[in-house]
Structure 1
């Protein structure tokens, strides 16, 4: 449970006069308007214990832009993955909104961050439905391009919750440098950028270089690794590979890089210079691991926005990623901020 006098968002000592039972007239919260949306995201049981701190109110105004893919996921539930040449039966077929970019944008918005999506969907029923979905989730869609057919993913999930994925890029690869140039003014209104690589490599490098010159915070999820370019490391503040991606990328890394390794059921690891910090996992019964890494990335983005320590950031990200595995579909199990804070402080 959150302690009296500490902010329920960041957990740091707040010293709010009201919650400490002191004279409130000089307390900062009497003269600062705390956004209603931020207050509504705080669990009810925390509200009479402490108020949100001044820094979190300030940081709440930061804008996040997710740059990546938008897919429609077709998920097959199977007992075991087929061997080469083998035909098996699936017990269920489900369709969900997905793509690494779409997953990360949805997760960021559910955590209360002001979020925009920069990506491309088809000018088809799938694309129109995805934009409507984002609107309902509170994600800004002004930067979404439409053309061609929507990207799609075909996913098998076994009885242990593990998955394999085959994707068709579709409209994701129609996102262009011209689109970036045409919307650059609005893009640069954002403070934090979360990239993944299911979109054109040249576009990622082009935009990263611009953002680095404007001193924007850049987080890179280097997946799929086949689309990674070592030059991206020159612009990235934090890189978040999973175990297999880390093995492929580590020869390019310098000690000065800030590396967050997503280790699944083993938790996560931070590597920087001579520092190496392991954070244990949050234990859950996994049903579907699709989107867990994307939720981890969104929670890490949230933690950076609110100036968490690296240990708290990884612990919070582990919890969020684990929670995402407890329901089928990439986005279904993603926690709200209320759900995340309840577990973080329980």
Structure 2
């Protein structure tokens, strides 16, 4: 079974002609609200693609946004959320007509998820095997979770987004590290003063020296690359004819990856399954509204 600990946000999406430049004002083409947050996106993905229970520990505000997000979790049978008096987290997202996005996060109720709070949930969490972590809750909480659950022989999948304020000590407890290219470059430069585009072997050697087991590099429209101590494996992504919104593609990938691994697929099969789910998601608008069903993913793969 899959456990997720992470953020819940209401995504406030502005569709624009192009990204707004510093000092520039432009009119938005549309304003829309979608359930989001990296933790929530991954939890909903896992719930839609898996036949097993998904437990999602997250914090919502006692406000209209929080109630709306809770209704969405209930719809997918996701349990584990709690309420706090802090406002529900928000993500302000600018999406261009070509489907590119940039995002500003307001933490809000997500800051309520502390190591002390997690300790009270360990009896429930230890019932699950695969865990999805991100970096939209306090890092010290993610680190505490990874260290504690790894000691109980759980599988940890860590998405380093956003990449700021991450400490390298967490990688000792990470089985699958899933950065995109910008996150990988930022962390490589921050930790080791290395540019992976020019010093890849040395960068990988340093990451593996920290203890991480597998690095799955997400590269947008380019092939996905799996690095571990024994091999390098390149897995093609699926060419989608119409890209509408890439907002949650990385989250959909991670949620689907956890489902595939839980079902016993080998790593190549799991990455292919995750790439298919993420590929379908970019053809639709919004975060959780873009997540495909299991039948859609299975039918898509069977047609390839």
What TM-score do you get using the length of structure 2 for normalisation? 0.90
Find the aligned partners of 1:107 and 1:157 in 2 and give their Cα distance. 21
Partners of 1:168 and 1:190 in 2: CA distance: 29
CA distance in 1, matches of 2:229, 2:128: 29
Correspondent of 1:253 among 207, 232, 251: 207
Superposed structure 1 runs of 4+ greater than 6 Å apart? none
Q: Does 1:267 align with 2:229?
A: no
Q: CA shift at 1:274, angstroms?
A: 4.2
| Contact 1:76/1:90 (<8 A) preserved | yes
Summarize the alignment of residues 101-180 of structure 1 with structure 2, pairs less than 5 Å apart: 101-112=39-50, 113-140=52-79, 142-180=80-118
**C-alpha contact 1:267 1:318 (8 A) present in aligned 2:** no
Q: 2:252 aligns with which of 270, 280, 295?
A: 295
CA deviation after TM superposition for structure 1 residue 121, in Å? 1.2
Cα deviations by residue, 1:43-79 (Å, 9 ceiling, x for unpaired): xxxxxxxxxxxxxxxxxxxx21111110000001111
- How much does 1:177 deviate? 2.0
Confirm or deny: 8 A CA contact 2:60 2:81 kept in the other structure.
no
Which of 317, 320, 324 aligns to 2:274? It is 317
SS in 2 for 1:254: helix
Which residue number in structure 1 is paired with residue 180 of structure 2?
242
What does residue 67 of structure 1 align with? 5
Q: How many residues align?
A: 283
Residue among 267, 287, 299 paired with 1:330: 287
Q: Which residue of 2 aligns with 1:49?
A: none
Partner of 1:40: none
In structure 1, the partner of 2:196 is: none
* TM norm structure 1: 0.79
Partner of 1:92: 30
What secondary structure does 2:291 align onto? coil
Q: Structure 1 residue 143: deviation in Å?
A: 4.4
Alignment of 1:77-88 (within 5 A): 77-88=15-26
Partners of 1:143 and 1:282 in 2: how far apart? 34
Q: Which moved more, 1:110-119 or 1:156-165?
A: 110-119
Distance 1:246 1:207 in 2: 22
User: In the aligned structure 2, how far is the partner of 1:318 from the partner of 1:338?
Assistant: 15
Structure number with larger C-alpha Rg = 1
